[in-house]
Amino acid sequence: HKRKLLKAKTRQEPQHLLNLNTVADGISGVDREGTSTFVNRAMAEMTGWRAEEVVGRNQHELLHHTRSDGSPFPAQECPVYRSCQDGKARHIPEDRFWRKDGSHFPVEYACSPLRDDSGGIVGGVVVFRDISERQHSEEASRLHQLELAHRDRLNTLGEMAAGIAHEINQPLTAIASNAQACIRL
């Protein structure tokens, strides 16, 4: 019975890797110490790190060593590390990961603990996506809204100026008419 299970597991592993490689999001696994255990193709493409360069190395040191503001990000505070320790899944709406070439990119990611058959935590799984395009779209939308607000203010200012000019023009016209009448009299 045990031999059948092992044989079935051995057949399933290549299928699982094939499935992971069809997903557009980056997916990676880490053990409890943060050492990479697997990565999918999308993760390798987004980061520039080949799987064989990442697996067996500390993922935090490679991909997540600095916060969005540029300050150092201690591993103990990293949500991935914390999920592997306390068993709680986490969703991080915005952070940054580093590429092999030293550049960084904005990511949204989730990390979930990975458990063995007895329920013990053996590591974690990280699923992330590059949110560069979303951020560019949000910034373009924000700039467009600012431009529209500026146009609205200019239109309002123009309307106010026209109203003031009309209000001043009426009495001036009356004064000029009365002055003309006085001169004729």
Contact 92, 77 (CB under 8 A): no
Banded model confidence at residue 22, pLDDT cuts 50, 70, 90: low
Residue 32 has phi, psi (to 5 degrees) of -65, -25
Helices (H), 22-131: 41-47, 51-54, 59-63, 79-86
Banded model confidence at residue 90, pLDDT cuts 50, 70, 90: very high
Q: Which residue has the higher pLDDT, 110 or 167?
A: 110
Q: What is the pLDDT of residues 122-165, one digit of tens each?
A: 999 999 999 877 767 666 677 777 777 767 777 777 777 777 77
Burial of residue 154 (CB within 10 Å: 0-12, 13-18, 19+) is exposed
Q: What is the pLDDT of residues 3-12, one digit of tens each?
A: 654 454 445 4
Distance CA 169, CA 121 (A): 82
Q: Model pTM? A: 0.65
What is the residue-averaged pLDDT of the chain? Answer: 81
Cα angle, residue 132 at apex, residues 131 and 133 outer, rounded to 5°: 95
pLDDT of residue 56: 92
